[in-house]
């Protein structure tokens, strides 16, 4: 029976490492891969109201969209070249950890694979960890691939 595998992807080396690690170590014939990119725009609007430069905001949004399209195309090509069934999807609207858990439930994922930024204890305590959030809240097994894997 085919498994649904959700792999969290972004522009980081850690995400690419996790994607490659899945392909080399876990992938089984017939697996259906869902590569998930949690889009974060991180665009500064400046002082809201009459002083907002709408042209600059629109240009920044377009640049961010173009980068996301390049990223999703890159991982879609990795799937094609590896002859792995699947698709890369883009979601927005919540924190990355929350989106990963939500999409894994919607897609009925059998497993989640993701990388880790390798934050130290202090930075992780201050910033939080997406992988830690997913491990704590997901209803399906989670493989967190370290940078050294």
Q: In the chain, what are the domains?
A: 4-145 (3.40.50.620)
Give the pLDDT confidence score for residue 119 in this predicted structure: 54
How many other C-beta atoms are found inside a 10 Å radius of the C-beta of residue 138?
Answer: 19
Alpha-carbon gap, residue 96 to 93, rounded angstroms: 9
* Reported pTM: 0.82
Residue among 115, 132, 113 nearest 4 (CA): 113
Contact 11, 39 (CB under 8 A): no
Helix (H) or strand (E) holding 145: strand 142-145
Q: Tell me the pLDDT tens digit for each residue of 35-85.
A: 999 876 665 555 565 566 677 777 877 877 888 888 889 999 999 999 999
């Amino acid at each position: 029976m085919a498994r649904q595998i959700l792999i969290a992807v972004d522009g980081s080396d850690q995400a690419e490492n996790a994607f490659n690690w899945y392909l080399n170590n876990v992938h089984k014939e017939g697996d259906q891969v869902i590569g998930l990119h949690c889009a974060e725009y991180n665009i500064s609007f400046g002082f809201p109201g009459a002083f907002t430069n709408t042209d600059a905001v629109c240009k920044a949004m377009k640049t961010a969209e173009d980068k996301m399209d390049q990223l999703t195309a890159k991982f879609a090509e990795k799937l094609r070249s590896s002859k792995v069934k699947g698709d890369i999807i883009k979601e927005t609207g919540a924190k990355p950890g929350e989106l990963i858990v939500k999409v894994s439930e919607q897609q009925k994922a059998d497993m989640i694979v993701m990388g880790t930024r390798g934050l130290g204890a202090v930075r992780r305590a201050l910033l939080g960890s997406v992988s830690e959030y997913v491990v704590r809240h997901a209803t399906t097994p989670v493989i967190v691939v370290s940078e050294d894997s």
